[in-house]
Amino acid sequence: MILILSERKDITTYHIAKWLEYYGKEVFILTDEDKIKMLCINNNGISFEVDDYILNFKEIEAYWYRRGIFNLPFSINSEGLPNAIIDNLKKERALVNEILHTYLLKIPNLSSIFNSDLNRVNVLYKAKDAELQIPNFGIFNCKKDIEGFFSKYSKIITKPIWNGISTIENNTLFINYTAEFTQEDLAGLPELFAPSLFIEYIEKKYELRIFYLNGECYTIAILSQNDPKTQLDYRKYNIEKPNRNVSYLLPKNIEDKIRRLMENVNLKTGSIDIIVTPEDDFVLLEINPIGQFLNVSQDCNYNIEKNIALYLSNIAQ
């Protein structure tokens, strides 16, 4: 049996599950909405009940962490409890989650929760170690430091240090977009503020979204530079006039460097963003270990969903 831990609304998960079923594999999809009950962790292993089904970890032949968490069978009633006890109970719950995910590392897997949330800046350092070109950047909390950064680079952008947010509350989408940081923004800053990430703006000929799977690179070129709406962040989709997307063959030396980088950050899969400059330099921006890839697969007929299913089928014990 192949276990997929995901979120109920993640369409990608179900595409891959269909391919696995096509290849004759039993699939169990566990989402963050599936309530676990009767959890048992002991010397003999781990099992729990969910939806009247007993899942024994010894029966799992392969595992894919797509996204989400285990919905554990206990809640914390904080009413009348001191904060120290509440914090202790939260740590207990977190440790149980850690035990489950650590056990799953023993099983042939495609990815894990432990490498699902990369540090964006550390990735840039590792990309440089892999001899990939990266933009000039700085994390500052002092106005004079940004003024110095501006003096070197006439145009800069700002991004979240972490991966940012993407959520819907009360029918309103909250999402972090890459944005230009202007002199007007600088003038409105206090002398000291929360540490923030600033990056040199890179002129682009086009940008690449690369889905990486166990050494293979599936690449799409996004021609976003000619549309003011998508110049800084192609995720600001122009529905009326979408960017043109085309399949793309990476130069071998860039592909080799990407493999080296992914090995250094211990990832078998992930989405990689690269800008190609007018001078044909390849500048790496970031890696998203759990990025969406259906557009890359479908626009370029890469059949990534099928290939993920084949990978999971092949590693199943």
Statement to judge: residues 158 and 193 lie in one domain: yes
- Domain end: 151, 178, 200, which one? 200
Statement to judge: residues 230 and 162 lie in one domain: no
Q: What is the total count of domains within the chain?
A: 3
Statement to judge: residues 217 and 164 lie in one domain: no
pLDDT in tens, the chain (317 residues): 999 999 988 999 999 999 999 999 999 999 989 999 899 999 999 999 998 899 999 999 999 999 988 998 777 777 778 889 888 888 988 899 999 999 999 999 999 999 888 899 999 999 999 999 999 999 999 999 999 999 999 899 988 888 767 777 878 877 777 778 888 989 999 999 999 999 999 999 999 999 999 999 999 998 877 766 666 666 656 567 767 789 999 999 999 999 999 999 999 999 999 999 999 999 999 999 987 888 899 889 999 999 999 999 999 96
Categorise residue 136: left if φ over 0, alpha if ψ from -120 to 50, beta otherwise.
Answer: beta
**What distances in angstroms separate CA 65 from CA 31, 190, 244, 253, one per listed residue?**
11, 42, 31, 30
Residues 6+ away with beta carbon under 8 Å from 145: 138
Query: Is 123 a domain residue?
Result: no
The structure's pTM equals 0.88
Statement to judge: residues 17 and 108 lie in one domain: yes
Phi, psi for 85 (deg, rounded to 5): -70, -40
Query: The CATH number of the domain where 237 resides is what?
Result: 3.30.470.20
Q: Is 69 exposed, middle or buried (0-12, 13-18, 19+ CB in 10 A)?
A: middle
Q: What is the extent of the structural domain holding 142?
A: 136-200
